[in-house]
């Protein structure tokens, strides 16, 4: 991760998606945490890459022998450890680590989870035991596409190849078997303009983050209110602002 991206995530450390009061409607019958529950047991050792503030680990991961959550941002890991103290959960630890320089023992984990984060499947392959699983959930190129079209920019908007296909090919080339790629479609609804705008200010949906190239020259851009209001006018249903989300899931196994 480059310095600009690092600065971005250091800056947004003290928030949770819960504050946006988002109402989600699943259009695809695939859930990362249900998949995790299928393959993890009470004896499993699980590695969560890009753990952020640890909220998903603490709320949605099953009880296991060991769970390690990692993030490149020290500020995020500080937040995760604070959340861990409040949770009362056991057998969970958090540490600072670069996903592209995985610092764990080889053949150690039963499951590796990566959510909305950069990965190196070859390094993940080494970290997994034989028979271990890799579960990925990411944001795809066409996520919030109507919004990006209106602003003329956005995360992955100018990338020639969808990151879902890049990840899928990299997982296969790393040696994984039984690799599945699942398109995930969701609708998200926001109660009002204020929550929606703050969400866009904190999540790089309409910022020119590239999934394929260096973001060294990335700069956070201001939101044009006129364009924002145009989107809201055209995408409000029953008094709520709608975003069409496009994610992807990958399930793979080390044979």
Cβ proximity of 252 and 178 under 8 Å = yes
Specify the CATH architecture of the domain 3-253.
3-Layer(aba) Sandwich (3.40)
Residue 219 has pLDDT above 90, yes or no: no
Supply the pLDDT for residue 88. 92
Looking at residue 2, its pLDDT comes to 46
Question: How much is the average pLDDT of 15-22?
Answer: 81
Residue 216 pLDDT exceeds 60: no
For 77, list phi and psi in degrees, rounded to 5. Answer: -65, -35
- The neighbour count for residue 94, using CB atoms within 10 Å, is 26
What is the structure's pLDDT at 198?
Answer: 93
- pLDDT per position as a tens digit, 143-163: 999 999 999 999 889 898 999
203 — pLDDT class (breaks 50, 70, 90): confident
pLDDT digits (tens, 9 = 90+) for 163-200: 999 999 999 999 999 999 999 999 999 999 999 999 99
Confidence of residue 1 (pLDDT cuts 50, 70, 90): very low
Given pLDDT bands bounded at 50, 70 and 90, which one contains residue 46?
A: very high
Report the C-alpha gap between 16 and 19 in whole angstroms: 6
- Residues 197, 194: Cα–Cα separation, whole Å: 5
Two structure tokens written together for 186 = 């969701």
> 75 versus 40: which is more confidently predicted?
40
Poorest-pLDDT segment among 18-22, 120-124, 163-167: 18-22
Report the pLDDT averaged over residues 38-46. Answer: 98
pLDDT at 11: 55
The CA R_g of the chain, rounded to the nearest whole Å, is: 18
Mean pLDDT of 48-64: 96
| pLDDT class of 238 with cuts at 50, 70, 90 | very high
pTM: 0.88
Instruction: Domain ranges for the chain, please list them.
Output: 3-253
Cα angle 61, 32, 7 (rounded to 5 degrees) comes to 80
């Amino acid at each position: 991760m480059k310095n600009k991206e690092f600065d971005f995530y250091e800056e947004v450390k003290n928030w949770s998606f819960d504050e946006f009061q988002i109402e989600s409607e699943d259009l695809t019958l695939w859930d990362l945490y249900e998949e995790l529950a299928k393959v993890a047991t009470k004896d499993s050792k699980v590695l969560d890459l890009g753990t952020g503030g640890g909220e998903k680990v603490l709320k949605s991961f099953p009880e296991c022998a060991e769970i390690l959550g990692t993030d490149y941002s020290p500020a995020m890991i500080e937040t995760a450890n604070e959340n861990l103290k409040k949770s009362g959960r056991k057998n969970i630890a958090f540490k600072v680590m670069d996903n592209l320089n995985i610092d764990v023992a080889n053949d150690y984990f039963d499951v590796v989870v990566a959510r909305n984060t950069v990965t190196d499947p070859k390094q993940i392959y080494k970290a997994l035991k034989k028979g271990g699983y890799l579960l990925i959930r990411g944001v795809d190129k066409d996520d919030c596409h109507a919004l990006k079209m209106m602003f003329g920019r956005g995360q992955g908007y100018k990338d020639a190849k969808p990151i879902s296909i890049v990840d899928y090919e990299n997982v296969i080339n790393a040696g994984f078997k039984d690799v599945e790629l699942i398109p995930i479609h969701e609708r998200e609804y926001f109660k009002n303009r204020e929550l929606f705008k703050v969400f866009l200010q904190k999540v790089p949906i309409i910022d020119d983050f590239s999934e394929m190239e260096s973001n060294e020259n990335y700069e956070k851009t201001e939101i044009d209110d006129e364009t924002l209001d145009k989107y809201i006018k055209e995408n409000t249903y029953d008094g709520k602002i709608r975003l069409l989300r496009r994610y992807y899931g990958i399930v793979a196994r080390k044979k």
